[in-house]
Structure 1
Amino acid sequence: MKRYAGLDVSIKETSVCIVDETGTVCRELKVISHPEDLVRVLQDPAWRFERIGLEAGPLSQWLFDGMVAAGLPVVCIETRHTKAFLKAQVNKSDRNDARGIAQMMRVNLFRPVHVKTLASQKRRALLTARKLLQDKAMAIDNDIRGLLRNFGLKVGVVGKVGFEQRIWELITGLSDLTDIIAPLLAARRIMREQFAVLHRKVLSIVRDDRVCRRLMTIPGVGPVVALAFCATIDTPARFKNSKAIGPILGLTPVLNQSGEHARMGRISKCGDAVMRSLLYEAAQVMLTRTSKWSWLKAWAMNIAKRAGMRKAIVGLARRLAVVMHRMWVDGTEFRWTREIAPTV
């Protein structure tokens, strides 16, 4: 008889529920959230699993890789679908959630999600750490400005290079403020230095990656956007066509239809928020800073005339993702003229 398992993962323990093909619960237990412990339980010869369900989450990639390496038929499932399915339960608990996931596996009512390769996970971790240091350093800059403003000391418009010198000019002779601001400047200096280390690492990876260099031929797309796109998409062949990139990144409008009423809303904002933000910035750079015209910029400017600049940037961000995916698949560089550009 076929068996199905559902795993509800938490930081310390994972609730496991095993059901047979009729839906009867065969076994329920809690296991330490570690691949080896889960494999030890699920590889029991008493069970012959058809599918094992694992909800996407912080530990899912680590656990998924460990169970796949052990030869288990594990499936990583989409979080929103799982939440909607489990909402029908009266009481929410880890045990009930594991039961619900096991039943989803049994009736084949789930949407699988792609689990990224280890290389893409490492690249995404690098970009996340770089962004974290950048945000914290900027937060310290703003906090220093706010603290000094309380005493009538205005920093004014100054770049990140001359920021520290300007602060010392303002607090010279004010010993009390110096004791407060000096540690903040030291922390800022360290963050900037470590940010530069990670940024050089990003540039080094992009320099040796042919796909990233090819994507950077698009105006507005720099090394961070190119590397983030490669880490997010991971495997371009998993999309049936390039137009499928837009919905995955939440850059397509939401349709709300009921009977004779149909309303097209704003973009869904589903998927990777970081990648969506980077594409928006790249589109903004193409429209406002790039001087050389291309068919893609002309297309977006026509939208700006009809619907405004914000909608044009969002539309261009979606189309940028489509073009980048097509360039990755075809192995071509960006084409500036529409006559020879691929249809997207």
Structure 2
Amino acid sequence: MDFYAGLDVSLEATNICVVGGDGKLVREATLDTDPDAIKELPAEWGIHLKRISLEALSFGAWLFTAPAEKGLPMIYIEKRHAKAAMNAMLNKSASTDEKDIAQMMRTGWFRTVHVKSESAQMLRALLVGRKALLGKVLDMENMIRGLLRPFDLKIGEISVGRFEARVRDLLAGKKELEAIVGPLLDARNAMRLQLAKLHRLALAAARSDSAVRRMMTVPGVGALVALTFRATVDDPARFRKSTNVGAHFGLTPRRYQSGQTDRIGRISKCGDELTRAMLYEAAIAILTRIPKNFKLRLWGLRLARKKGLKRAATAVARALAVLLHKIWIDGTTFRFGAGGKRGRVAAAL
């Protein structure tokens, strides 16, 4: 008989449930959240597991990889799909999650998720850390502006490099206020220094990756956009068609069709939020800041006149995801005025 296992994972402990091919409960246990504990279970229990599953979560790849490398049939399932399946159960509680996941493995009603490589996870950590630190720096600068404003001290629009000098000039002769704002400036400078280090690491990663360099030949696509796309997709071969990439990042409209009803809504916004935001920013740059015309830009501008800038930028972002994936797969670069596949990307969408 085939056996199926479901894992309900938390930071400290993991509940495991095993069911047989007939759906009957075979065994339950609670173990430490550790890959070594999971990969030894089948041998300890003397059973052959056909599928072992856990939901996608922040540290799931770490828990997934070691047992999979040992040959265990690990399945990484899509969290939203699993939640919908669990909500259909008559009785739902935290203590039954592993049972529900085990039954999903038995029935085959699940959707797998790609487990990113270690290099993609490392690149993702760099990009997320850089973005978080940038946010903190901007928060600190805005807070300093807010502290000075009640004293009628306005910093105004100023470059990053001149920010500290401008604040010091405004604080001249105001010792009490300088004693308050001075440490904040020092903290801001320290964060700016560390942000610069992370930014240099990101640029070095872009220079060392040939696929990223090719993506950067597309107007509006810089190192950060290309790196984010690279880290999120990880393996371009997992998409059979380039046109599926836009839907993966939630850039295609929702659709409800039943009988004579056929409604098309807003974009789904599923998938990775950071990549979606980066593609959107690149699309805005293509429509508003790139001076040279090319087919994708002209198509987006025509759409902007009909639908508005935001909708046009969303459509261009979707087309841009398709274009970047094609460049990655084909090993080519962007060329202004090129025909063939590159010229037809926008029109096809």
* Deviates most, 42-51 or 161-170: 42-51
Given that 1:36 and 1:66 are in contact with CA atoms closer than 8 Å, whether structure 2 keeps it comes out as yes
For residues 30 and 172 of structure 1, what CA distance do their matches in structure 2 show? 64
Matched position secondary structure for 1:155: coil
Q: Secondary structure at the match of 1:72?
A: coil
* d(CA) in 1 for partners of 2:317, 2:21: 46
2:257 corresponds in structure 1 to 257
CA contact (8 A) 1:77 1:113 kept: yes
Aligned partner of 1:39 in structure 2 is: 39
CA positional deviation for 1:90: 5.1
The whole-number CA distance in structure 2 between the counterparts of 1:70 and 1:23 is 26
> Residue 86 of structure 1 corresponds to which residue in structure 2?
86
Structure-2 change in CA distance of 1:43 and 1:187 (3 Å): farther
The two structures have a TM-score, normalised by structure 2, of: 0.96
Matching of residues 149-298 of structure 1 within 5 Å: 149-298=149-298
Quickly say closer, same or farther: Cα 1:341–1:106, change in 2 above 3 A.
closer
Q: C-alpha separation between the residues in 2 aligned to 1:43 and 1:186? A: 57
What residue identity is the alignment partner of 1:166?
Answer: R
Deviation of 1:88 after TM superposition, in Å, equals 2.9
3-state SS, counterpart of residue 241 of structure 1: coil
CA distance in 2, matches of 1:57, 1:332: 35
Structure 2 CA distance, aligned partners of 1:339 and 1:172?
Answer: 61
Residue 101 in structure 1 maps to residue 101 in structure 2: yes
Q: Deviations over 1:117-147 (max 9, x none)?
A: 0110000001111111111000101111111
Deviations 1:259-309 (A, max 9, x none): 322221111100000000000011111111111111111111111111111
Look up the SS of the partner of 2:44 in the other structure.
Answer: coil
Q: Which moved more, 1:200-209 or 1:100-109?
A: 200-209
Please say if residues 55 and 82 of structure 1, whose CA atoms lie closer than 8 Å, have aligned partners that are also in contact. yes
Matched letter for residue 157 of structure 2: V
Aligned to 2:8: 8
**Which residue of 1 is the match for residue 72 of structure 2?**
72
Contact 1:335–1:341 (CA under 8 A) maintained in structure 2 = no
Q: Are 1:133 and 2:133 an aligned pair? A: yes
> Which ranges in structure 1 are unaligned for 5 or more consecutive residues?
none
Query: In the TM superposition, what whole-angstrom CA distance separates every residue of 1:13-39 from its partner, at most 9, and x where no partner exists?
Result: 111001110111111111111101111
Q: Is the 8 A contact 2:236 2:328 kept in 1?
A: yes
Deviation track 1:84-115 (CA, whole Å, cap 9, x = no partner) reads 11113455434300000000000000000100
Stretches of structure 2 that go unaligned for 5 or more consecutive residues are: none
CA RMSD of superposed structures (Å)? 1.3
**Counterparts of 2:241 and 2:43, CA distance in 1:** 37
Matched residue type, 2:223: P
**1:338 Cα deviation after fit:** 5.1
| SS of corresponding position for 2:196 | helix
For the residues of structure 1 that align with 2:326 and 2:167, how far apart are their CA atoms? 48
Per-residue deviation, residues 174-218 of structure 1 (Å, max 9, x unmatched): 222112111111111111111111111111111111101100000
Contact 2:295 2:337 in 1 (8 A): yes
Q: CA deviation at 1:341?
A: 4.0
Mean Cα displacement is larger for which, 33-42 or 129-138? 33-42
| Distance in 1 between residues matched to 2:4 and 2:236, nearest whole Å | 30
- Preserved CA contact (<8 Å) 1:17 1:95: no
Match of 2:58 in 1: 58
Question: How many Å apart are 1:45 and its aligned residue?
Answer: 5.4
Give the structure 2 partner of residue 326 of structure 1: 326
**Number of residue equivalences:** 344
- 1:310 correspondence with 2:295: no
Amino acid at match of 2:173: G
1:91–1:183 distance in 2 versus 1, CA, 3 Å: farther
1:168 offset after TM fit, Å?
Answer: 0.9
Identity of aligned residues (%): 45
Residues in 1 aligned to 2:259 and 2:110: alpha-carbon distance in whole angstroms: 27
SS in 1 for 2:198: helix
CA contact (8 A) 2:219 2:286 kept: yes
Matched residue type, 1:231: A
- Using the TM superposition, name which of 144-153 and 253-262 deviates more: 253-262
Q: Which amino acid aligns with 1:271?
A: G
Match of 1:124? Answer: 124
**TM-score, normalised with respect to structure 1:** 0.97
Distance change in 2, residues 1:153/1:98 (3 Å): same
Letter in 1 for 2:258: S
Letter in 2 for 1:207: R
Report the more deviating stretch, 267-276 or 140-149: 140-149
Distance (whole Å) between structure 1 residues aligned to residue 40 and residue 341 of structure 2: 54
Q: Is the 8 A contact 2:53 2:77 kept in 1?
A: yes
